[in-house]
Amino acid sequence: MKKGAFRGLFRLDSWWLRLANQTYDLIMTNLLWLLSALPLVTLGMAKLYSLYGISQWRFSKDYELLVSFRQAWRRYWRIGLSLSALDLGFRGLCLFNLYLVLGQTSWPFLAYKVLIVQVYLLTDLFLFYLYPLALREELTWRERLQTALYS
């Protein structure tokens, strides 16, 4: 083994330090998402921040985590609150309907339970497509909802 083989390993631009920095950024992004999603009202903003932060991280060489977090919260808080209300409203309605017929075992109620679970999963898929579309500012709400529904 050469004498200076490990010297290049500890330089600031070495591949493993860049990988460690990227791993740290992803862990911190997930931690910020978790802390900001603890109050359920801010769930939409937390999801939008994660999408915004990861897109900034992928396409930028000089990515700063907290600056990106602050920019996303200032820029998308209205859209995030609207999406939170939509998300929690759909999910709450489905879970409330499921709770109402939870103890029933007759065939019509079982079919209704299956229908509620299907609506819940379709809502989840719809919102999965809607959150990235919310970052596109050139679209109106109607266009965002139509695109998420047709995707």
Model pLDDT for residues 71-117, shown as the tens digit of each residue:
888 888 888 888 889 989 999 999 999 999 988 889 999 999 999 99
Residue 63, SS3 per DSSP: coil
Judge whether residue 44 has pLDDT over 70: yes
* Mean pLDDT to the nearest integer, 52-76: 78
pLDDT band, very low/low/confident/very high, at 10 (cuts 50, 70, 90): low
pLDDT value at position 9? 62
Q: What angle do CA 7, 13, 15 make, to 5 degrees?
A: 85
Query: Quick one: CA dihedral 114, 99, 119, 49, positive or negative?
Result: negative
User: For the segment 11-27, what is each residue's pLDDT rounded down to a tens digit?
Assistant: 667 777 778 877 888 88
Sign of CA dihedral 111, 115, 120, 124: positive
